Chain A
């Protein structure tokens, strides 16, 4: 047993140490190239992505909040505007209707006045015409009476004749 231990001590295989170092170095390089490198790179990328996503989510929420506020304000504004427009329109309509009614009234009055004047004029003209005719007739009758000595009967015939002629 003692001999064995001594034998083992003289047999210190330092070559193995070098072999382990070489093996480990190769293992290190290959794993870095094929497994550790890509995976840790991807983990870092994912970390960055999560950070970015969180940041963008926060900013998006802020934006949405301001948008909602803006929309609410706009809604309130538009409601006010709508009521204003409505009242304006009502006012306008009333004004226009009174204007139209007043215009119609005045027009009707002027038309009536004109009609009255026309009627008056027509009447005056008719009277004038009648007067003229009566005068003419009187002259004609007088002429006939003077031109012929007439019997009463003849006179009556004449008048009748004349009146007949008037009727024609």
Chain B
């Protein structure tokens, strides 16, 4: 069992794995985006096409789940960046895991519930903001009594369940993928010497491919559900 590398700074605890992973992936996302958009033209070149396809894809997620046109405009950037960032963080642990003296240094930041909960929290706070902007504080609070007043506890619990399902779904999928990959690589492969190492290589490859697929699906699901929650806040039921 690897230990997390935790240090304290200004009275807050920091986990180095998440910080390194997220910063690294943020830089990767940033550089890829800048590289793809170096020459923006009316007649798009190949790189611009890729970026426009991605933007169209995340815009499609936003359009499908948020009916409010004004909110759509504001959410386009959020969905785009969130999708790319989570996708890259999901993939990081699949090809790069660095361990120093039993301490994990680099793995997928999203294989950690704190990370996924941070992003879920961000979405949740954003949905509150959008709801209050749209209906005002009073109108927003009144929406908790809709469609009938005695559903108030259900509506409040829903906020917590939304938060938990959004974060734990992503965490569970990525964490499970990494655990299985670690098991194949660390336990199964060296169990009977060279023969199992050769035999488990294709297995690891298949699982890695599958994890790439899962990571993409989970990034898509995370963004989609974020938009669903925000969309629900800005439409009157």
Contact = CB atoms under 8 A, between A and B. Distances in A.
Interface stretch (A40-48, A92-100, A105-113, A155-163): A40-48
B101 to A, nearest CB: 18
Interface stretch (A24-32, A74-82, A129-137, A138-146): A24-32
B72 to A, nearest CB: 12
Given A13-B14, A43-B55, A27 B115 contact: no
B212 to A, nearest CB: 22
Contacts of B81: 24, 27-28, 31, 36
B198 interface: no
B13 A12 contact: yes
A18 B117 CA distance: 12
B26 interface: yes
A26 B9 CA distance: 21
Nearest to B30: A30
- Chain B at the A interface: mostly helix, strand, loop or mixed? helix
A42 B34 CA distance: 15
Interface residues of B, number: 42
Interface in A1-45: 4, 8, 11-21, 23-24, 26-28, 30-32, 34-36, 38-40, 42-43, 45
Contact of A13 (B13, B22, B34, B77): B13
A20 B119 contact: yes
Interface of B: 1, 4, 6, 9-10, 12-15, 18-19, 22-23, 26, 29-30, 33-34, 36-37, 40-42, 44, 48, 51-52, 55, 76-78, 80-82, 85, 114-115, 117-119, 121-122
